[in-house]
Amino acid sequence: MNVGIIAAILGAGLCMGFGSLSNGAGIGYVLTGALRGWVRQPKISPATFRMMLIGQAAASTPSIFALVISLVLIIKMTDPAIPTIAAWPQAAAFLATGLCLGMGSLGSGFGCGLVGSQAVEASARTPKQSGSILLYMLVGQAWSQTPNIFALIIGLFLMFGSFPGAGAEAIFDSGKLLAVGICMGAGAIGPAIGIGYVAGKFTRALADNPLHADQLRNTFFVGAAVAESTTIYAFVTALILLFR
């Protein structure tokens, strides 16, 4: 069996396995926040339930990215265009794709769950601010998914790129491609969680101090932007490694 096929199988499994891990936990976090809100404000349970569903839907999107990439990797197993001479670099690219998207989904799943949990509970505590809290919950969850989008871009480059090579060059290219996947995948975990944590605390603060919404929002934007900067470093480094 071609080593590229084995790598595509492993890449698909790693991608979907890691992608499901954090997203399942994130969806559970949102439900936990909703339960705390229901205990505090039983009369607004329908509104809390609707917000919970929105938060859970947003928290599940990283696993959808992982699912799509996993399916494409499975389809690539039957690609007859993979040349034998480039078997090892191509195999490394498939495996790196799975690692990149799988690890990239880890942080976003947890980050989206953190935002949703805090926001749903905050909305139940201060129903008058539910509209603003819902808006910033979606902003925070979308922002928390940007590292995963960077990982998706790198994964697409890896999966659909052409990496010819033989002998020592093939070994070098294989190591470089694996480094690209690990760099972007691992580099997306912490920033996504950090952004989610910051956004979640912001929604709680907005519920507690709505009169200071402008100052709180500015602090949130600055903090989230700084938290995201490290995944941009990983993205740039991965691009340099990939195209150098």
What's the CATH code of the domain at 127? 1.20.120.610
Strands (E), the chain: none
Alpha-carbon distance of 203 to 207, in angstroms, equals 6
At residue 127, the pLDDT reads 84
At residue 85, the pLDDT reads 45
∠ at Cα 237 (11, 230), nearest 5°? Answer: 95
Mind listing the pLDDT tens digit for each residue in 55-86? Answer: 898 888 888 999 999 999 888 776 665 544 45
User: Can you count the helices (H) and strands (E) in the chain?
Assistant: 9, 0
Number of domains in the chain: 1
pTM for the full predicted model = 0.88
Q: Are 101 and 19 in contact (CB under 8 A)?
A: yes
* Radius of gyration for the chain, computed over Cα atoms and rounded to the nearest angstrom: 20
Mind listing the pLDDT tens digit for each residue in 82-131? Answer: 544 457 888 888 999 999 999 999 899 899 999 999 999 888 888 888 88
Alpha-carbon distance of 53 to 177, in angstroms, equals 38
DSSP 143: H
Residue 204 has pLDDT above 80, yes or no: yes
Half-sphere exposure of 57 (CA within 13 A, CB side): 7
> Which structural domain range is residue 113 located in?
3-243
The overall average pLDDT reported for the chain is 87
Place of tokens 């990797």: 73
* Mean predicted confidence (pLDDT) in 169-179: 85
